[in-house]
Structure 1
Amino acid sequence: MNIREWLMPPVIEPAQDYGFFGPDSVTWKVWSFPTSLTIGFQRAVVIEELDPALVAAVDKTHDIYRRPRTRYDRTLRYFAMVAFGDSASTAKAADVLVKIHSKAVGTDPVTGGRYDANDPHSQLWIHLTAWHSILKAYEQYGPGRLSEAEENQYWAECARAAELQTCDPADVPRTREGVLAYFESMRPQLIGSDIARQAMNHLLRADVMLPEMPRVLRPATRVVSAFLRRGTLATMPVWMREMSGLPTSRVLDAAVALPLRVSFATVATNTRLQLMLLRLLSPTTIEVAAPVLRSVPAIDPVTTTPYETQKALGLDRPRDAHLALRTRQHNRVFGQHLPPSDEGLIESQPILGRVGAT
């Protein structure tokens, strides 16, 4: 890590437009708080692994173990683009993500069934887990619970963001009760398999997402990583932790609450510190989040919807996009027993950042 570069303030370019939400949205309010792209994001990627179809795809590539840093960076950048990015760039990123997911097909070694990352069922699970986790972290370690009107708006915005996924936005619950009912309905389908437990424990290690730290900072890094791990665990229901073989100490859950609230509240008052920490966690996300954190007006201060943008750009809706490629990938994997093509992954690098080895 280059300390001088890390400390320098970023060059901030205004976004082309306000994307799909904008300054008056609850999404910007919640997602711009420092709990979101730390504990909220970590909670999302950890809980996702309980879906046997999803973790089968993760385990097949082993990318979270081979290149955790770049995978984290690319994924966090995409999350930030959905919430904060300009409409055209985000719609193009979502389109290329369908291509990337087309290669994540195969046979689940645990259930014996086939998995497909573009399957609407899997996409809805990923989408709701992310939005719920971001809100949960905000409530537990940030400003607290939203008003009823704000929460209704938040879930309506979540449904709008689902237009970037292959799932049907109509399937997105619009209330807290509906979201909780969704997770309860998923509970019988979740499995704390060996590969899920391995992935979850790995993703709970915040240090695997960080660059190589100077020796003098490593003890502090271990402390921060331990607090983030315990803080993330404390947001997860006990049944989920028990299923995953994760610790369930109520004492430790309570012990980290105040230090984390104070730390996040402190970071939230200092935009430069937020950008420094974000550069540490995800360098490619800076250009997406910095205009929002610094309240830089967009060139064209308007919002739109993903479907409107896709139509304007001549892009198919995600559920219909790249069907020919997805068919070819299925034929390669299930018919010819060959590895899937990497063409989507290669095409994504100018949009989401390079794919590295570490």
Structure 2
Amino acid sequence: MGTRRQQDYGFFGPESVTWKVWSYPTSIVLGFLRAVVIEELDPHLVASVDQSGQVKQRPKLRYDRTMQYFATVKFGDAESVLRASDTLMKIHSRAIGHDPVTGGTYDANDPASQLWIHLTAWHSILYTYEVFGPGKLTPDEETRYWEECARAAEFQTIDPADVPRDRDGIRAYFAAYRPRLVGSEVAQDMMDFLLDANTIVLPERMPAPLRLVFNAVARRAVIATMPRWMRKLGATGQSGFTDHVAIALTRPVVRAVAASKHVQLWALKLASPRTVPVIEPLLRGIEPVNPVVREPAEARAQYGVVDPRTQYAEILAARAVEAGPAPYPFHHREELVAFPA
């Protein structure tokens, strides 16, 4: 079967900084692992993850599906992005429950929680690109990157106005959010679990010695990008010497992979098979049927998809009268809902 052509460039396109940064090999493992590990410090999020049980039940599938979703938003055509966003809204609409650490209630679609996940991902992908890849963006590119980050927020319940537009704003956001973070026993356990690339990413058919080396280096490379206070909360400390060695070993490997589109596609097939149909047209230089970048409002009108913030308001209104989607049971067996490719 040949590579499927996209209908259009979606909401970013080849001239975007998003394509430049998110298509670099650092995003596949290092950036993704950094993001999901750090996210667990939010007590509401880790309560949702722990009570769902899905991450530990089927870690490789969860990684594969999450990568597929992120790739679809950045590289998929407009209809695929909107359908994937709509699917995720429906999945998250049942992810509500009690957070035993704070005594509050978690809601996977809550805009504040979604913003934490969104910014952690965009910052982690950029930061690993800088550390292990080509280095820092130009000031103009970085401005465009955070503007595009705000555009991507439109496919979640986030108000794009809440997305910082520069590095100082991102630092201020994390500083303000820091008091909410908790290095609970559950968070530390989940962070340790997610730092195991052998469990999360690597295919079982990879030779054991290679898996062992890859996992040891990748774990330490991800930790090397985390600030000291965050490592302390997550009980993921390591020495500065280990940081330098991990970065020195990882950087040339990443850059070698980046030099070959064929190697990138091979690595992607091993790590996230569901993501391949989304990324392959980009790696092979296959233009979409209609090579244009779309506007979210115009695309929603064409495909009849309601924006996430409106959907969320409707969900909250239904809950207010004790209606709406029922919460997932504890450690449920999640249905395999596929995102549109």
Q: Same fold (TM over 0.5)?
A: yes
Contact preservation (8 Å) 1:163, 1:307? no
Q: Distance in 2 between matches of 1:161 and 1:307?
A: 13
SS for the counterpart of 2:106 is strand
Contact preservation (8 Å) 2:69, 2:339? no
Q: Is 1:29 the counterpart of 2:6 in the alignment? A: no
Counterpart of 2:5 in structure 1 is 14
Counterpart of 1:95 in structure 2 is 86
1:333 is displaced (CA, Å) by 10
Q: Is 1:211 the counterpart of 2:203 in the alignment? A: yes
Q: Is 1:285 the counterpart of 2:275 in the alignment? A: yes
1:346 is displaced (CA, Å) by 4.5
Gaps of 5+ in 2: none
1:213 is displaced (CA, Å) by 2.2
Counterpart of 2:338 in structure 1 is 349
User: Where in structure 2 are the equivalents of 1:320-331 lying within 5 Å?
Assistant: 320-321=310-311, 331=322
Counterpart of 2:180 in structure 1 is 189
1:322 is displaced (CA, Å) by 6.0
Q: Distance in 2 between matches of 1:350 and 1:122?
A: 21
Which one is further off, 158-167 or 317-326?
317-326
User: Where in structure 2 are the equivalents of 1:12-91 lying within 5 Å?
Assistant: 12-91=3-82
Structure 1 residues 338 and 192, CA gap change in structure 2 (3 angstroms): closer
Gaps of 5+ in 1: 1-9, 353-358
Q: What do the CA deviations read for 1:138-195 (whole angstroms, capped 9, x no partner)? A: 0000000000000000000000000001010000000011011101110001001111
User: Where in structure 2 are the equivalents of 1:223-262 lying within 5 Å?
Assistant: 223-262=213-252
Match for residue 261 of structure 2 among 259, 265, 271: 271
Q: Distance in 2 between matches of 1:327 and 1:248?
A: 47
Structure 1 residues 303 and 337, CA gap change in structure 2 (3 angstroms): closer
SS for the counterpart of 2:338 is helix
Please report the RMSD computed on the Cα atoms of aligned residues, expressed in angstroms. 2.3
Q: Distance in 2 between matches of 1:64 and 1:127?
A: 19
Counterpart of 1:6 in structure 2 is none
Q: Distance in 1 between matches of 2:340 and 2:53?
A: 22
Counterpart of 2:107 in structure 1 is 116
Q: What do the CA deviations read for 1:102-146 (whole angstroms, capped 9, x no partner)? A: 111000011110010000000100110000000000000000000
Q: What is the TM-score normalised by the length of structure 1?
A: 0.89
Moved over 2 A (4+): 305-308, 322-334, 336-340, 345-352
User: Where in structure 2 are the equivalents of 1:144-163 lying within 5 Å?
Assistant: 144-163=135-154
Identity %: 49
